[in-house]
Amino acid sequence: MPCGTSSVSWRPRSSSSALLHEGGRRRALKGIGAVLSSNSRGAKSSTLQWCGGGPNMMLGRWGEVGVLAFARISMGAQLQVVGALGPLLIGSLVTDWAALGTLIGTYSLAGVFVALPAGWLLARFGDRVVLLGGVGLMALGGLLLAIAPGFGVALVGRLVSGVGGALLTIAGAKMVLDRFSGAGVALAMGLMLMAWPFGIGLALLVLPLLGEDWRSGLWLSASFCALAFLLVTVAVRAAGPSAASHRRMWLLPHEWRPLLALGVVWAGYNASFAVAVGFTPAFLVANGMSHAEAGALASLIGFSILPLQPVGGAIAERLGRPLLVTVLCILGMVAALAATAAGAPPWLTLPAFGLLAAPPSSLIMAFAGRALSPESRAFGMGVHYTVFYLGLALLPPFAGFVRDKTGAAAAPLLTAAAFLAMCLTALAVYAATMAQRTDPR
């Protein structure tokens, strides 16, 4: 008997009572049909569905967000594993700090070349195939890094892992946009996005506990990704046939401008955050702090974003002013960076920067969902993240270039503030374009 069905025995009534009960039967059947229809519609949001004879455990949409978050935790830990074990890898897996930096940067650099093809793959093969491919490549790359006898194999492992991480990032964002609407998009996206920095922090906490055994740390990271692959395999459902038949391999003409504008916003926002985290310690040291004090204060940026990242965007959506909240938060981030550069107490300005950075992260991605039709989201996410990865590859080095040219320790922070000002301009382009789509007059 198929899962979720049952048989009911019945015997026909006599002809004299049939007419008497015909109206009742019709009303009952109508009610049963409504219940079955409601259950079918609610299946996507149920907590857990299990078909004993079926191959997969099917989670509802919030359960799938949890699985995506787990996979992104493993991605964050994998990104950080080389940096966390860095001093132990010098002289054993890599020869010098430059080679170590190459291993670290290769992971993110892969996204520049993968993002757009990932959009095509999503449109051609669907979410689940690309998601499984991404997490599988993360596990494979982690394995190659764990068994690497030297730098060459380690570099290949990091490249494979980076490709997998980019596929996971793009497929995960598209899946959240498909499964949620309204304030739910911001909440679900916030939960998924916060998993990545949590994974970075987890690696920094756990890997030092292994002592000098750096090889075990690499194996632990690879195992984490393999576990994420198993969870995705058994828990994430594929899109229905109708969804697959309506995927578009290109964008509609009116979708290009708002999406490219949001890609600039997403790149500038993330680049400013990366510059703030990366250059603040040097700025604080230049102003007389010890390296330990500077590192502790700079870490407040990363920790401060976590409390509001899952719910900040959802609250803004509930208030009905997501664009206004995004603009105000970005303006506050600019003010926090400028105040830090001007000598304001960093123990106040840096946490303020992190807190204000939380709501825009999920809101910007929700805006991307509104700019794209459901049929265009697969390819659109590839375009969006191509702009993102290009910006993330170019903008932080530019901040370092400004530091070298000016000799001012505060120059990178002010450059990051300029990136945020660029975000505001791009947001204005997005808002104007969407307003024209709503009111073509």
Each residue's pLDDT tens digit, 119-129: 888 888 888 99
Residue 274, Cβ density class (10 Å: 0-12 exposed, 13-18 middle, ≥19 buried): middle
The pLDDT value given to residue 54: 36
The pLDDT value given to residue 87: 81
Q: Can you say whether the dihedral through the CA atoms of 59, 65, 70, 71 is positive or negative?
A: positive
Q: Is 381's pLDDT higher than 70?
A: yes
The pLDDT value given to residue 120: 87
Q: Which of 342, 356, 374, 377 is nearest to 423 (CA)?
A: 356
For residues 234-262, give the mean pLDDT: 74
Q: How sure is the predictor about 433, in pLDDT bands with cuts at 50, 70 and 90?
A: very high
Residues 6+ apart with CB under 8 A from 109: 162, 393
For residues 90-104, give the mean pLDDT: 84
Tokens representing 34 are: 């409504």
How many CA atoms lie within 13 Å of 129's alpha carbon, on the beta-carbon side? 13
Per residue, the 3-state secondary structure of 409-431, as one string, reads CCHHHHHHHHHHHHHHHHHHHHH
Q: Which of 354, 418, 385, 413 is nearest to 108 (CA)?
A: 385
Chain centroid, CA 75 distance in Å: 10
Looking up tokens 């996979």 gives: 71
Q: Is 277's pLDDT higher than 80?
A: yes
Task: Tell me the per-residue pLDDT of 177-215, one tens digit each, with 9 for 90 and over.
Answer: 888 877 788 888 888 888 888 888 788 778 888 888 999
Which of 6-20, 183-197, 263-277, 420-434 is most confident? 420-434
Q: Is 24's pLDDT higher than 50?
A: no
Distance from first CA to last CA of the chain, Å, rounded?
Answer: 58
CA distance 164 to 202: 20
Q: Which of 101, 290, 130, 299 is nearest to 200 (CA)?
A: 299
Q: Is 50's pLDDT higher than 80?
A: no
Q: Tell me the sheet residues that pair with 90.
A: 94
CA distance 441 to 403: 47
The pLDDT value given to residue 424: 97
Task: Tell me the per-residue pLDDT of 382-396, one tens digit each, with 9 for 90 and over.
Answer: 899 999 988 888 888
Q: Which of 35, 36, 33, 64 is nearest to 48 (CA)?
A: 64
Where is 190: in which H helix or E strand?
A: helix 183-206
Q: Is 49's pLDDT higher than 50?
A: no
- Other C-beta atoms closer than 10 Å to the C-beta of 182 total 11
Q: Which of 233, 108, 119 is nearest to 164 (CA)?
A: 108
Q: Is 155's pLDDT higher than 90?
A: yes
For residues 252-256, give the mean pLDDT: 88
Tokens representing 409 are: 């320790």
The pLDDT value given to residue 22: 42
Task: Tell me the per-residue pLDDT of 339-377, one tens digit each, with 9 for 90 and over.
Answer: 999 999 999 999 999 999 999 988 999 899 889 888 888
CA distance 227 to 222: 9
For residues 127-155, give the mean pLDDT: 95
The pLDDT value given to residue 410: 94
Q: Which of 209, 180, 214 is nearest to 64 (CA)?
A: 180
Looking up tokens 């976590």 gives: 306
What are the backbone angles phi and psi of residue 50, rounded to the nearest 5°? -140, 125
Average model confidence (pLDDT) across the chain: 81
Q: Which amino acid is at 103?
A: L
Task: Say which residue, 4 or 144, is predicted with more confidence.
Answer: 144
Buried b (16+ CB within 10 A) or exposed e, 341-361: beeeebeebbbbbbbbbbbbb
For residues 151-177, give the mean pLDDT: 93
Residue 332 · residue 164 · CB < 8 Å: no
Question: Across 1-154, where does the E strand assignment appear?
Answer: 48-50, 57-59
Task: Say which residue, 236 or 53, is predicted with more confidence.
Answer: 236
